[in-house]
Amino acid sequence: MNKGDKLFILGLDCLAPELVFGESAKDLKNISGILDKSIYGELKSTCPPITVPAWMSMFTGRDPGELGFYGFKDRRSFGYGDSYLLNSAAVKEPVLWEYFAQKGMKSVVIGVPQTYPPKPFGGVLVCSFLTPDTDLEYTHPPYIKEEINRITGGKYMIDVDNFRTQDKDALLDQIYSMTENRFKVISDFIGSKDWNLFIAVEMGVDRIHHGFWGKDGQNDRIKGYYRYIDEQIGKLLEKLDDRTGLMIVSDHGARSNRGTFNINNWLIENGYLVLRGRPAEQGRLDPNTVDWKKTRAWAEGGYYGKIFLNVKGREPVGKIKKKEIAKFKERLACELETAGAGEAELKNRCFFPEQIYRRVNGIPPDIIVYSRDLSFRVSGCTGGGLFVKGAADLSDSANHSEHGVYIDYLPGRTSGNGYKEGLSIYDVVPTVLERFKMEAGSGFRGRVIP
């Protein structure tokens, strides 16, 4: 790109490639209209494929181990139950817009997860859905907050109130209102702010998937919302001139929630986790109910599982010797990956952070677990049975899948390179920096997409 050229990156959290590139996308006229002039394909997400750390991996070019975060919450210390929510203070690697600032170029950044509290830089920043409350300062500079209120009539939403609600009609109204007002701000800032790089992330796709996914996302509410997003992209294209490229990206995809694996119950049944008494009812694991002198492992749940070992000299009442960790993990992973049989086969997949990341910073889980290829949720609760087949929690009908979306469109192209395989979430930063001819150092995990 030449001096004065621009790039707009539209992030749509959880945008599913099968609904954008497949037969079901034929009604998305604006997206379909640019694919022939684009490089596009499925974008392999992080392990785990979840909003935190995926977006920051995308905008730093570093993997979760290098960043030192492994989900929305990480362990603060090796104490039992000592965890904390990750925010912008945890981000130590340079982010894409900081590279632009170093070169004297301006950026506008809206809604990128893990940007709260806002860090000052030479541009405009509006924090994401992880902002605790809009009464707090969630913009840089601070006066941007008043501009947002003026543009939206005070209706700007950081996030919907509760995307796991059973009141689906109210949820749908909130999602549309949130998206409408986000794009009002985007549209205004495109013309009113000075920028070379504009990044905007909208959470509505993620929220509608979790609320309405059902069977493979093939329902009128999701299709209708995708058409609405496509309309917003059409309006966006009208505002971008021929010297402005457009990337459309997502951090991961979606798939149906088909069941739940209660991993702590499995650990209890197999003698790895020992409680002082049988739980009276199903609920979250309480560290105070665990007999730590007899426990070798416990877990936390979510769309994937995180197993922690109780290591002697590391945890307060450790049991496993450090020299035994590697063999213990191999044995535990083998047992988990063969858990269940026949229709109840869970097909768990286990990952060791020290093997899948280039470095391991912070305090990682000892084992990361996917159940039934991410179509089963992993629960950290105790009580109840080992697993529940079917979407037990109808308030959240989607899990995450390992591939998001990448579309790279330049208006001046008469044709693009078409569909590409092997694209990675780590490729975005080196590709953008190369396009702007920036020398920003080396060491990125990804590669430049030609």
Q: pLDDT digit string (tens) for 241-290?
A: 989 999 999 999 999 998 899 999 999 999 999 999 988 889 999 999 99
Please give the distance of CA 55 from its chain centroid, rounded to a whole number.
6
- Report d(CA 401, CA 170) in Å as an integer: 26
Residue 3 predicted with pLDDT over 50: no
Q: 350-365: per-residue pLDDT in tens?
A: 999 999 999 999 999 9
Question: Degrees (nearest 5) of the Cα angle 88, 98, 248?
Answer: 85
User: Taking the model in full, what pTM does it have?
Assistant: 0.95
Question: Degrees (nearest 5) of the Cα angle 250, 446, 444?
Answer: 115
- Amino acid at position 117, single letter: P
| Residue among 65, 39, 71, 80 nearest 52 (CA) | 71
Q: Provide the 3-class DSSP secondary structure of residue 69.
A: coil
Q: 21-79: per-residue pLDDT in tens?
A: 988 788 999 999 999 899 999 999 999 999 999 999 999 999 999 999 999 999 999 99
Length of the chain: 450
| Residue among 437, 405, 423 nearest 7 (CA) | 437
Residue 447 predicted with pLDDT over 90: yes
The full set of domains in the chain, from first to last, is 6-255+400-435 (3.40.720.10), 259-389 (3.30.1360)
- Amino acid at position 58, single letter: M
- Report d(CA 37, CA 414) in Å as an integer: 6
Q: What are phi and psi of 307, to 5 degrees?
A: -105, 135
